[in-house]
Structures are given as structure tokens and as C-alpha cells.
Amino acid sequence: ARDHGLRQFVVYQGQWSTANRDFERDIIPMCASEGMGLAPWGALGGGEFKTKKQREEMKARGEGGRNVGGPSEKHVKLTEKLEEIANKKNTAITSVALAYVMHKAPYVFPIVGGRKIDHLKGNIEALSLELTDEEMDDIDS
């Protein structure tokens, strides 16, 4: 756009979460070099970030959620890390997942939704949730 005298792009929108991190390899560096903001969608994992208790309750009720066949082993391990951090901070897994993307790069404005008041409260809580470098590394590993 710049080469043709047009207005530059100012924000990039794409899927990014603790479970789907391809965004971090190319998109974040490109946006940083171009001075663009980031508007990730799917930061809450599409409703798949569930505590162990929530997964067990769903299994007992015969519900599979949105993921046919259940979550992968990698996804379960990631969710366990999120749950561990959430328990230490007395907050929800989704608040930690949202705080992660907001801490990972500057000018991040996640696109979130929610069907319940609790979802909205968790999203708002994530705005002030501080994650340590160690916690960020735990999620990254």
C-alpha cells in the first residue's frame, strides 16, 4: 500500500491463542516492523480451555464439546499449565489465556465474545492480570 501511495495497513487480524501459535513466528515480527496492531481472534481457544473438573463433568454427561473425539494430549497438557497458573492467581483459565496474548506483544487487541456474564467478567479480569516471565515461559514450553 505504501509503495502505491495508499494508506498503510494499521492492524492485522488472525487466529492466535496459546494452543495455536503460528501467529508468533511471522505475523508478530512483521507487524512490529510495520508499526501495526494485532487483533487476534480465537484467543480463548474456541471454548476448549477447560479445567480437569470441567472435562470430567462433560465426560460424565456424555458431552464432547466442540471437539469430536476429545482434546489432544498436547492440548490437555497446555490446559493443565493454564489451570495451574489460574489456580495460583485465583482466576479463570480463559483469563490466563487472554492475558498471555496481551503480554506477548505490544498493541494487542483481542477479539472476544461470550454468551454468559461470567465470560465477560473473565475477559475484563484478563486486562489487569499480570503474568511473570516464568509463567509466560511455562505456557510457551
Percentage of the chain beyond pLDDT 90 is 55
Q: Report the distance separating Cα 125 and Cα 137, nearest Å.
A: 21
Q: Which domain holds residue 106?
A: 2-140
Q: Quick: pLDDT tens for 87-103.
A: 999 999 999 999 999 99
Decide if pLDDT at 4 tops 80.
yes
* CA 95-59-65 angle, 5° bins: 55
What span, in angstroms and rounded, lies between the C-alpha atoms of 135 and 141?
Answer: 10
Neighbours of 125 (CB within 10 A): 17
Domains in the chain: how many in total? 1
Per-residue pLDDT band for 29 (boundaries 50, 70, 90) equals: very high
Instruction: Decide if 84 contacts 59 (C-beta within 8 A).
Output: no
pLDDT of residue 66 exceeding 60, the answer is no
- Position 101 scores a pLDDT of 95
Is-above-0.85 flag for pTM? no
How confident is the model at residue 135, as a pLDDT? Answer: 96
Please tell me the predicted confidence (pLDDT) of residue 139: 93
Q: What is the DSSP string of 11-69?
A: EEEEE--SS--HHHHHHHHHHHHHT-EEEEE-TTGGGT---HHHHHHHHHHT--TTSTT
List the CATH number of the domain containing 129.
3.20.20.100
Please provide residue 48's backbone torsions phi and psi, each rounded to the nearest 5 degrees: -90, -10
The pLDDT of residue 113 is: 81
Kindly tell me the sign of the dihedral angle through the C-alpha atoms of 15, 17, 20, 24. Answer: positive
Asked if residue 72 has pLDDT above 80, the reply is no
